[in-house]
Structure 1
């Protein structure tokens, strides 16, 4: 059967009612569009702290979602069974707490539930709005925590840089092979958000590449925490250098990871390690040549190439920061939470 929004219903003939909070930003708008066109989901409400009363399609014509943006009040949650929250850190936690209190399954795209350690969160982001939910939140990188996501009521969407970096490094971390790593990361300007300010204006970005926050970026502790959980006895991630760069493209991300390993690895051995880890993954491709941002644009895919060279292993990984780095991955996790095909709508 077709729903009112013109998409096929789920395999059991029913759809799950979903709301998206925070649709005026890039990831929220894309999340709403992905729900709108999803075969098993029905987009019942979109909310925002601004632009209320306007149709999302008027703000983002490419997404063609004709619903009006409403106030994020309690009545919005009553219509839905599940929700995606795309508010900034700090603003997200109270909304997530209300939604969880009403029984909604939630994927949160802010940083509010990514870190398991409250003290680390507060150092980088400030006071937490719902610390009581931290223990029950599952990190939403399906390739690393698929079974936990299936059982979760609250999933914390990873940051875009940690998504690419963790997928690049997970096979090495799981084997305890990382002694230290340097991550050189590059992202398009959409990673700074819709209100990125002067630093992401056309004049400031075009014909230019600039590093930013090279000493203590907020995504560094996220990468370290998750790598440590993967490693059998310490990941070497404490010796991690992470330097992001802004490049003059609108969306896309590439990380180059330079890893000193605990033992020498031949290329054939490295290829076997990565193939064994990712051959069955629907959205991860191990490729034989250096990947580029354009290869994965507007997809939920991650392309990875591991290479031996000199005294380090080099691993390249590229994603679309708005898709696999945020909204697309949110749909991937939501599919798992709702017992749907993981690739549905993607």
Structure 2
């Protein structure tokens, strides 16, 4: 670590993916950070502003060399898929580098749960150290953290939507209907995200169990809600953007005034959560770190309905990672994000 008056030098590993590239752009323009290096597994040697011209980050993507790239940096963002991320994170932590990890490798606290949904874990010794990177829930723990598990995009939106009612002990049952753009699947092409299949189409996926479900259940449980969770995502013909619609069967009757008070208490002081009167849309939050929420008490059914829109590659990935970097490195939490 260098003196507090100089920009913090950041390595972004996995900079050729959607989230990694946006992270590079945010770091590059950040008043308190410096992009020390950007690495990529498949595009090494290419310029990032040629791979993604619209981000305008004039750096050459390099092949990751931990001994070289970990030297003289203040923190790293690892934007690798699950399984591939853990050994890189472990190597960085062995060298004393604070890390924000995009993958699911350190989000789930229970090793058996992780391995049931993902792959055998190669660095389980780091699970206890990892802090779940949702600042609205874990701000104090994130300050100075050495390893931050950046949340998944669906859990980010769902947990922000449900945290106030979960804390109040109101969740007897919840259905989470989520809709997202194709960028959530990452840069790799597949038949599911092919233009010919996605255009003018909407379909559900992960109906037998989506990998973000145990993450949502884990964090709702921390908040005191252990009720059944039904989570079904849908793919929309959008580039980016995500909307979750949460239908909560409550444990006791509540009024709109009760709901308004819960959400005001939770979010009035939050810099990146907006509670509004009308249903949010994905255009409202595109290319931002904001989550936009509406909560309603439905007197007819006795349910609480909560809607949350985020940009899946910003608040659901890259800009949330920078928010976490700010907290971990002692910078103003909103720096570089407004």
TM-score normalized with structure 1 length: 0.95
Which 10-residue stretch deviates more, 12-21 or 212-221?
12-21
CA distance in 1, matches of 2:186, 2:40: 15
1:54-133 matched pairs, under 5 angstroms: 54-74=46-66, 75-133=68-126
Deviations 1:132-185 (A, max 9, x none): 000000000000000000031000000000000000000011111100100000
Q: Which residue of 1 aligns with 2:250?
A: 261
Which 10-residue stretch deviates more, 78-87 or 287-296?
78-87
Q: Which residue of 1 aligns with 2:269?
A: 280
Query: Partner of 2:245: helix, strand, or coil?
Result: strand
- Contact 2:98/2:147 (<8 A) preserved: yes
CA distance in 2, matches of 1:215, 1:264: 32
1:318-333 matched pairs, under 5 angstroms: 318-333=309-324
Q: Which residue of 2 aligns with 1:195?
A: 188
Q: Which residue of 2 aligns with 1:293?
A: 282
In the alignment of these two chains, the number of paired residues is 333
- Contact 1:288/1:305 (<8 A) preserved: yes
CA distance in 1, matches of 2:207, 2:238: 20
Deviations 1:303-332 (A, max 9, x none): 111111122111000100001000000000
Query: Partner of 1:323: helix, strand, or coil?
Result: coil
Q: Which of 222, 226, 236 is residue 236 of structure 1 equivalent to?
A: 226
Query: Partner of 1:35: helix, strand, or coil?
Result: helix
Query: Partner of 1:182: helix, strand, or coil?
Result: strand
1:189-228 matched pairs, under 5 angstroms: 189-228=182-221
Structure 2 unaligned residues grouped into runs of 5+: none
Structure 1 unaligned residues grouped into runs of 5+: 1-9
Q: Which residue of 2 aligns with 1:167?
A: 160
CA distance in 2, matches of 1:300, 1:106: 20
Query: Partner of 1:343: helix, strand, or coil?
Result: coil
CA distance in 2, matches of 1:222, 1:204: 29
- Contact 1:110/1:156 (<8 A) preserved: yes
CA distance in 1, matches of 2:146, 2:4: 22
Q: Which residue of 2 aligns with 1:147?
A: 140
Query: Partner of 1:258: helix, strand, or coil?
Result: strand
Residue 317, structure 1, aligned to residue 312, structure 2: no
Q: Which residue of 1 aligns with 2:42?
A: 50
TM-score normalized with structure 2 length: 0.97
Deviations 1:251-289 (A, max 9, x none): 000000000011111111111110111000000011101
CA distance in 2, matches of 1:250, 1:138: 30
1:23-42 matched pairs, under 5 angstroms: 23-42=15-34
Query: Partner of 1:318: helix, strand, or coil?
Result: strand
Q: Closer, same or farther in 2 for the Cα pair 1:143/1:207, shift >3 Å?
A: same
CA distance in 1, matches of 2:306, 2:294: 6
Q: Which of 254, 259, 274 is residue 270 of structure 1 equivalent to?
A: 259
- Contact 1:46/1:70 (<8 A) preserved: yes
- Contact 1:81/1:103 (<8 A) preserved: no
- Contact 1:36/1:65 (<8 A) preserved: yes
Q: Closer, same or farther in 2 for the Cα pair 1:79/1:68, shift >3 Å?
A: farther
Q: Which of 13, 18, 25 is residue 21 of structure 1 equivalent to?
A: 13
- Contact 1:82/1:105 (<8 A) preserved: yes
Deviation at 1:119, TM superposition (A): 0.2
